[in-house]
Amino acid sequence: MEFGIFTIGDVTTDPTNGTTPTEAERIKATVTIAKHAEEAGLDVFATGQHHNPPFVAPANPPVLLANIAAQTERIQLSTATTLITTTDPVRIAEDYSYLQHLAGGRVDLTMGRGNTGPVYPWFGKDIRQGIPLAVENYNLLYRLWREKNLDWDGNFRAPLNSFTVTPWPLDEVPPFVWHGSIRSPEIAEQAAYYGDGFFHNNIFWPTSHTARMVNLYRQRYEYYGHGRADQAFVGLGGQVFMDKDSQEAKRRFRPYFDNAPVYGHGPSMEDFTEQTPLTVGSPQEVIERYAGFRDWAGDYQRQLFLVDHAGLPLKTVLEQIDMLGEQVVPELRKEFAAGRPADIPDAPTHEWLVARQRDGSAPVPGGAPGSRAHEDRLAAEEAERAKADPGTA
């Protein structure tokens, strides 16, 4: 079980004193946060990708992650997310292969469509084509990391003729991919089809919705022959603010919550914490709440926390990371390890992926969702159901 943090890189005025960090200060603080996460014993640091204010999360995440890789030794570097819809798959393939070499393999990606409408036309895309873009672009990326001298033709970019990614993935093994989605079953299906991970960043959503998405992905993962449903790779988002007791945590965090650029000026903090994973309280309250995620998500592989949002000063963010590393994560590790079946995999590492490929167990899909091969498979399923129960035809 991996525990880590992610950032969306917002530049937000601190509502308690009116100070606003410069872009340079926020960027440098992000590097400090990532390094401190490793020092605190956390497993993962992930960054979002944005092209618009008030965010300075990198438009090209490998730039930030390569800088962090050079200053760390152990922590896994990831994205939350890589915009598969508005970023050229060829660029993604080459940039992350390069980063993979620089970081010694401790890199993975979370693919996402993005939820900022104006970004699409800036890159010549139509948000109404978000799902088809995600499907086609990921299929191309998947092939770019596995086929040399690739000939390819699609609907959303220029054709490729005898193209080979440079550099080729480290040890001939691509980075592991998580597919991030909040509300689209098509993306859960895509993750299951390829045998990839599914990351539900559920910081805005009730448990009932997230559980349905996770269960859909697990069922389809098993259907596609990658393993049992309970062996699928699941990651979840979360958000916490902690202090010695609940009252003090709420007092300190309330002004940040009320003025947050994403959810401020909306539901009360109490309503929001009741409906979403946001937990404002003592470390013990965080432990108890997040340990309960296993009841509805099953044994999962990755839990990431948002801790630097809404104008929180760097000193406070580092204190939150220390509490995670010293008080919360050690107890959650024990909770999630207790009773966990031995054949439930941990989050994939580069070494695990290399070993899997060498022993020949890596799955090889026969057609991407949205492709003719996939449509043929779905048609065959329907035919089998009709044969078994003519009344459904």
pLDDT digits (tens, 9 = 90+) for 28-47: 999 999 999 999 999 999 99
pLDDT digits (tens, 9 = 90+) for 126-185: 878 889 999 999 999 999 999 999 999 999 999 999 999 999 999 999 999 999 988 889
Q: Are 35 and 72 in contact (CB under 8 A)?
A: yes
pLDDT digits (tens, 9 = 90+) for 92-135: 999 999 999 999 999 999 998 876 667 778 878 887 888 999 99
Minimal CA–CA distance to 115: which of 38, 65, 180, 62? 180
pLDDT digits (tens, 9 = 90+) for 296-323: 999 999 999 999 999 999 999 999 999 9
pLDDT over 80 (residue 392): no
Q: What is the pLDDT of residue 388?
A: 60
- Which H or E run contains 118? none
Q: Are 350 and 173 in contact (CB under 8 A)?
A: yes
Q: Does domain 2-360 have CATH number 3.40.50.2000?
A: no
- The radius of gyration computed from the CA coordinates of the chain, to the nearest angstrom, equals 21
Q: What is the pLDDT of residue 382?
A: 58
Residues forming a β-bridge with 79: 47
The pTM assigned to this predicted structure is 0.89
Q: What is the pLDDT of residue 74?
A: 97
Pairing of strands 44-47, 76-79: parallel
pLDDT over 60 (residue 385): no
pLDDT digits (tens, 9 = 90+) for 362-375: 444 434 444 333 44
- Which H or E run contains 163? strand 160-163
Q: Are 198 and 188 in contact (CB under 8 A)?
A: yes
Phi first, then psi: give them for residue 320, nearest 5 degrees.
Answer: -65, -40
Minimal CA–CA distance to 44: which of 357, 340, 329, 354? 329
Q: Are 81 and 112 in contact (CB under 8 A)?
A: yes
Higher pLDDT, 242 or 208: 242
Report how far apart, in Å, the C-alpha atoms of 104 and of each of 72, 166, 273, 324 are: 11, 16, 39, 26
pLDDT digits (tens, 9 = 90+) for 60-103: 899 999 999 999 999 999 999 888 888 999 999 999 999 999 99
How buried is residue 230: exposed, middle or buried, by Cβ count under 10 Å (0-12/13-18/19+)? middle
Three-class SS string for 261-282? CCCCCCCCHHHHHHHCCCEEEC
pLDDT over 70 (residue 381): no
Provide the mean pLDDT of the chain. Answer: 90
Assign 55 a pLDDT band (cuts: 50, 70, 90).
confident
Higher pLDDT, 181 or 336: 336
- Which H or E run contains 234? strand 234-236
Q: Dump strand ranges (E) for 20-103.
A: 44-47, 76-79, 82-83
Pairing of strands 2-7, 302-306: parallel
Q: What is the pLDDT of residue 376?
A: 45
What percent of the chain has pLDDT above 90? 74
Q: What is the pLDDT of residue 115?
A: 65
Q: What is the pLDDT of residue 49?
A: 80
